[in-house]
Amino acid sequence: MASEEPKAKKQKLSEEEKTERPSKKAPAKLSPNSLFGMGNPLLDISAVVDKDFLDKYTLKPNDQILAEDKHKALFEEIVKKFKVEYHAGGATQNSIKIAQWMIQEPHNVGTFFGCIGKDKFGGILKQKSEEAHIDARYYEQDEEPTGTCAACITGDNRSLVANLAAANCYKKDKHLDLEENWKLVEKAKVYYIAGFFLTVSLESILKVAKNASENNKLFCLNLSAPFICQFFKDNLMQVMPYVDVLFGNETEAVAFAEAQDFETKDIKEIAKKAQALSKVNTKRQRIVVFTQGKDDTAMAMSDKIETFPVLKIDPEDIVDTNGAGDAFVGGFLSELVQEKPLDQCVKAAHYAANVIIRRAGCTFPEKPDFN
């Protein structure tokens, strides 16, 4: 009887949906919880600010940092002084959300774990994750408030200041190790964690990474920011042997190369050297994907480096580059979890990033126009 159910569902698709998705393969082989993400759930507070605001808080126009004491007042000031927008954020959660949007159906292909507070912002995050059709299982605690991230936008640049707060409180023994949660980890085929989580719970990352490696599943990691490569190098290199797909942008790639003494600033060379770092699961050769803004994306795969041009966009159409990197990864994962060829993964990544930079925050239209 069970095999009849998908047919019945398919027949219920309206004519409109049939015409909108002509070349989509039936996503029957994708089951809920196929894609697993774990990271820092943050509520994004984004606003177009001025140079004086950046200078006051000693922010670079294009950067991402963790909030220090001197930044604490920034979060209140940005809300008072500028027109702000709230979005569910945090790098990993963004990518899982975008992947789910690209896939559309079934819902809850993406699972997300992270820590929030028992507060208003936590409630907003839960609501937003439901709206995005991802299966977010938050560890909720009341010692710290839900984390926030201020996106300070000037022109095409954005400076991110993250106040992790509750996101910093994720506990392996209190959440990941629980039987009902670990079952969801085991259901996944593809795992993705942004490097930012290396500052929070290395032991949680290693448990997931080792499990993926032992079961010949795909574990993906993002360098995420220069400071991760520089100041959390030891944590990063403990996870690297389990990484099947490594993502980063050109600034992060150069910072990684410096920290590793690669003695090159050539993005393709760095990709090659990162690919050659030791790896536990030798059944899969590591794939390294480095984006370079409007320049070609470089990918080290098998024994060659390929470059892929990004989709052209008029600079006037760029609204907000915040989230472009997360969207790139989300697009890539949406195809990877469906076992599509790598060039198709990059194509989807470029498409998703191109959609996101035309809008404020990491937001998207109702349906993708990608096939």
Is 295 one of the catalytic residues?
no
Q: Which residues pair with 197 in a beta bridge?
A: none
- What domains are defined for the chain? 35-41+89-146+164-357 (3.40.1190.20)
Mean pLDDT on 201-206: 98
Q: Look over the chain and give the mean of its residue pLDDT values, rounded to a whole number.
A: 91
> Does residue 84 contact residue 151 with C-beta atoms inside 8 Å?
no
Residue 346 is predicted with a pLDDT of 98
Q: How confident is the model at residue 19 (pLDDT cuts 50, 70, 90)?
A: very low
Please enumerate in sequence order all residues whose Cβ is within 8 A of that of 36, keeping only pairs 6 or more positions apart, or say none.
Answer: 110, 111, 112, 113, 184, 185, 187, 188, 190, 191, 192, 208
For residue 143 the two structure tokens come to 């010692």
Is residue 4 over pLDDT 80? Answer: no
Tell me, what's the pLDDT at 269?
Answer: 97
Per-residue pLDDT band for 9 (boundaries 50, 70, 90) equals very low
Whether pLDDT at 2 is above 60: no
Instruction: Dump pLDDT digits (tens) for 333-358.
Output: 999 999 999 999 999 999 999 999 99
Q: Which of 17-26, 112-121, 199-208, 314-323 has the lowest mean pLDDT?
A: 17-26
**Which pLDDT does position 21 carry in this prediction?**
40
Provide the pLDDT for residue 319.
82
* 3-class secondary structure, 45: strand
| Active-site choice (303, 326, 343, 369) | 326
Q: Which DSSP state fits 178?
A: S
pLDDT at 11: 38
Half-sphere exposure at residue 154, Cβ-oriented, CA atoms within 13 angstroms: 14
* Across 220-239, average pLDDT: 97
In SS3 terms, 97-145 reads as: HHHHHHHCCCCCCEEEEEEEECCHHHHHHHHHHHHCCCEEEEEEECCCC
Residue-wise pLDDT tens digits, 286-310: 999 999 999 999 999 988 999 999 9
- Where is 295: in which H helix or E strand? strand 295-301
**DSSP state, 197?**
G
Alpha-carbon gap, residue 351 to 143, rounded angstroms: 40
Determine the straight-line distance between the first and last CA of the chain, rounded to whole angstroms: 32
What does the DSSP 8-state code read for residue 348?
Answer: H
CA dihedral 291, 112, 228, 224 (to 10 degrees): 10
By the 10 Å C-beta count (0-12 exposed, 13-18 middle, 19+ buried), 211 is classed as middle
The H or E element containing residue 306 is: strand 304-308
Tell me: pLDDT of 187 over 70: yes
- Give pTM, 2 decimals: 0.86
Q: Looking at residue 128, what is its pLDDT?
A: 87
Segment 217-229 mean pLDDT: 97
Q: Looking at residues 144-163, what average pLDDT do you find?
A: 91
Alpha-carbon span 111 to 217, nearest angstrom: 16
- How confident is the model at residue 93, as a pLDDT? 96
Please report, rounded to a whole number, the percentage of residues in the chain having pLDDT higher than 70: 92
pLDDT at 321 over 90: no
The confidence score (pLDDT) of residue 5 equals 41
Q: Is 290 exposed, middle or buried (0-12, 13-18, 19+ CB in 10 A)?
A: buried
Pick the more confident residue, 366 or 238.
Answer: 238
Q: Does the structure show a pLDDT above 60 at 13?
A: no
| Percent of the chain surpassing pLDDT 90 | 79
Per-residue pLDDT band at 90 (split at 50, 70, 90) = very high
Whole-number pLDDT of residue 8? 40
Position 197 pLDDT exceeds 50: yes
Each residue of 23-70: pLDDT tens digit?
Answer: 444 444 799 999 999 999 998 888 999 999 999 999 999 888 999 999
Express each pLDDT in 99-137 by its tens digit.
999 999 999 999 999 999 999 889 989 998 999 999 999
